[in-house]
Structure 1
Amino acid sequence: MPMLRIDQGNENEEKQLSAYITDALERIIFQRLGI
């Protein structure tokens, strides 16, 4: 059973996930910089 399976219907989930990760990374970076 493959760990990662690419389905046509998962594009929305992938966009939400990447947006969530980007948001989290920005928060971490801003906290480190003290902004």
Structure 2
Amino acid sequence: MKDYSLLALNFGGLYDLKWWQHLAKLPEEPPP
């Protein structure tokens, strides 16, 4: 999840929230 968190931070705060929301539902397959 460390890599995903870094990507989310790069995209921005708004995308970060959506990113983690998807991780909560699909921890094995994050959104593109």
So what's the TM-score if we normalise by structure 1? 0.40
So what's the TM-score if we normalise by structure 2? 0.43
Q: Over alpha carbons, which structure has the higher Rg?
A: 1
> More relative contact order in 1 or in 2 (CA 8 Å, sep 6+)?
2
